Amino acid sequence: MTKVVQILGVAPNVVETPTIEGVERWCSNVPRSYRLKGFKQALDTYTRWFNMHSLNHIKTRYPSAWNWYSHQSKPIYLHEANSDIPSSIAFPREQIQATFSTDGTPFKFFTCSVAWQIAFAIVEKFERIELWGFQLRREHQYDHERPCFFYWVEQARARGIEVYIPPDVEITEAGDPATYVGPLYGYAPHNEFYAASF
């Protein structure tokens, strides 16, 4: 059987995510976002949950999410495992950065949670990656994430991984990690990240 992961964002097309037996489903950040977008089944059917932000950021910005994490039994990936979250696991940031390094320094071209997740899916040798709930529209606050998003899509495909993107996503040119000068997403202060030049 093909090893498949569905990585879910919270753009409107997330409601089109098909339910397929045996497929992993990775979600991120705030649980209520999926409920608000009409895809509350994500809260029951996820196989792994991710929050790529600092502990302080999560507790300050998403206290209800932190409380929800504490009651989960399936894996919750955070910067570090935390005793308040029994199922928490340290996200393998250093392993991922080392895997994609081209010059011996940690790879740095990560501008959003899904970039980290696609890279992780490559490391975990998934054969198909489905990206639901992403649109990254131009002239939107997340427009700067588009080049990195498509860079990682290309990296997966270059390794023979099938990548599905919903047809309403506007394809754009992949970014060049050699020209990226911004901070490492999730591991720099939130304000510093959004103040950086892209």
Predicted local confidence at residue 146, as pLDDT: 86
**Could you tell me the mean pLDDT of each successive run of 10 residues in the chain, 198 residues long?**
95 94 96 95 97 94 95 98 97 98 95 96 98 76 80 98 91 91 84 46
pLDDT (0 to 100) of residue 198 = 38
Write down the pLDDT at residue 178: 93
Query: If we measure between CA atoms, which residue out of 7, 11, 8, 10 comes closest to residue 170?
Result: 11
Residues 6+ apart with CB under 8 A from 196: 181, 182, 183
Please give the pLDDT value at position 54. Answer: 93
Q: What domains are defined for the chain?
A: 4-195 (3.90.1480)
pLDDT for 141: 52
Q: Which helix (H) or strand (E) holds 128?
A: strand 128-132
Task: Identify the pLDDT of residue 170.
Answer: 81
Q: Which pTM value belongs to this model?
A: 0.93
HSE of 21 in the Cβ direction (CA atoms, 13 Å)? Answer: 0
On whether the CB atoms of residues 118 and 153 are closer than 8 A, the answer is: yes
